[in-house]
Structure 1
Amino acid sequence: MVAIIVSLSEPKFSSLLLDRFLAIIESQNINTLIIFTKSDLGNNKPYYDYLSQNFNCLLINNKDKDFDWNKIKDNFRNKLTVFTGQTGVGKTSTLNNLLNKNEKTNEISKSLGRGKHTTRVIEIFCEQDIRIIDTPGFSSLEINLSKLELAHSFFDFKEWSKKCKFSTCIHYKEIDCEVKRKYQINILLKSRYENYIKMLLEAKD
């Protein structure tokens, strides 16, 4: 499983960056978990938006001394989980709280508005039946998928696309597209479809 760690603030939440992560991971048919951090600092709407799209999501506050970490450990039992995400979103802090570790963390750079690199190597941490790989953070992400591969990678498009007129529909300018129809009637999250179109225009033919 890949756990994508995203912050609601500091660094500012980016739905485009999150959807880039999801497109890459879903194209490989890997299970995902989205962990929204810093719930004390920002608007929690992104968490509820992705929850409404049937994503597996958690909302946490790493600075909350009373947060019950035991209640979310079941999400990680009996599987190998890779922590990934933008620099400064709280991957290591989440790992520390989840597994009672004391790995080094850094504060956000106020002048740059983004995190400073703390994790510099890929390392695996274990606690009984929980295994987590912590990875270095980064600030940008490129997608190496064709337009059709990208269209097939969005898990929420897959069932709807069966009703598209064309089997090769990429949900852009085609007629009788079920995905576009879901977007128009607000069943598909507006930002998710618009992020998809941005990635589609960047993708290979």
Structure 2
Amino acid sequence: MQGRIIKSLAGFYYVEADGQVFQTRARGNFRKKGQTPYVGDFVDFSAEDNSEGYILKIHDRKNSLVRPPIVNIDQAVVIMSAKEPEFNANLLDRFLVLLEHKFIRPVIYISKLDLLDSIAEMEIIADQYRRIGYDFVLSQKELLPLLKDQVTVFMGQTGVGKSTLLNTIAPELALETGEISDSLGRGRHTTRAVSFYDVYDGKIADTPGFSSLDYEVKTIEDLSEDFPEIRKASHFCKFRSCSHTHEPGCGVKLALEKGDIWQSRYDNYLQFLSEIENRRETYTKTIKRK
């Protein structure tokens, strides 16, 4: 039979097929091959009446996330809070770079708007990201239609209210929520497992929260590609290998001067570029010492 893994827990994989859910384990040969089934995988499996099934084959994946381990995703709702914790454009751009790199469509959702005296500044931020081409939503009413017919993961910094949002739009999930730690300024990790749920004619997944993100972009070329507005402007650069920092005839710097690229986004690009170069330099020094 063929199906899709919708839940992974304690060594068991729950596979949905033909309107049913089957409890399975992975064959030992997957471990020998260095393969691990993940939630979202399309698999071939065996299932006999009143017995445990076994996963026989994992089909090719269109994308994957390492943290959390989930695959074959259509889109990701990136939840950022307006306050407690404060909105962090740098962290948001890290999420967006990761998702662009993975070919996963981002949807930006802002929580805790009720804690702001005015949402005028947030509306300005929303307009900037919408100009780039991102869905940037400020209410559940805007969010819900975007879930239809999509496999969606919800992700965000710890404490932004991810589980609270999911409990509101899908009360049957009854996900555990945590208080914000005053001393740490972040929420406790509350999500324990990755699972798919059928909600609003699509599938959604709650995923573990985290307070930092290591994106997997390793080259200047990839980083340039993962900022859509920089990717677009780079076609007008004089040099194909332009880093958009100091080169003459840089289409990105021209677009920045014209206001077609937001200064905050460009500043974050420069920071991420510096991190990539520093990692490369550290790696090179380590190799030479060996």
State the TM-score, normalizing by the size of structure 1.
0.88
Q: CA RMSD in A?
A: 1.8
Structure ranking higher in strand proportion: 2
Note if contact 2:159-2:180 (Cα within 8 Å) is conserved in structure 1.
Answer: yes
Instruction: Please show how residues 1-205 of structure 1 align to structure 2 within 5 Å.
Output: 1-42=75-116, 43=119, 44=122, 45-60=124-139, 69=140, 72-101=143-172, 102-127=174-199, 129-144=201-216, 145-204=218-277
Question: After the TM superposition, which of the residue ranges 38-47 and 89-98 deviates more from structure 2?
Answer: 38-47
Q: Distance in 1 between matches of 2:115 and 2:209?
A: 20
Could you tell me how far 1:183 is from its partner in structure 2? 1.6
Task: Encode CA deviations 1:37-58: one digit per residue, 9 max, x unaligned.
Answer: 1111135243343234331111
Task: Encode CA deviations 1:94-143: one digit per residue, 9 max, x unaligned.
Answer: 11122233322112112221111111221222125121111001111123
Task: Encode CA deviations 1:122-173: one digit per residue, 9 max, x unaligned.
Answer: 1222125121111001111123321111111111222211111122222112
Q: Distance in 1 between matches of 2:188 and 2:135?
A: 28
Bigger RCO of structures 1 and 2 (CA < 8 A, at least 6 apart): 1
Could you tell me how far 1:71 is from its partner in structure 2? 5.2
Larger Rg, first or second structure (1 or 2): 2
Task: Encode CA deviations 1:54-102: one digit per residue, 9 max, x unaligned.
Answer: 3111113xxxxxxxx4553210000100111110111111111222333
Q: Which runs of 5+ in 2 are unaligned?
A: 1-74, 281-290
How many correspondences in the alignment? 197
Q: Which runs of 5+ in 1 are unaligned?
A: 61-68
Partner of 1:63: none
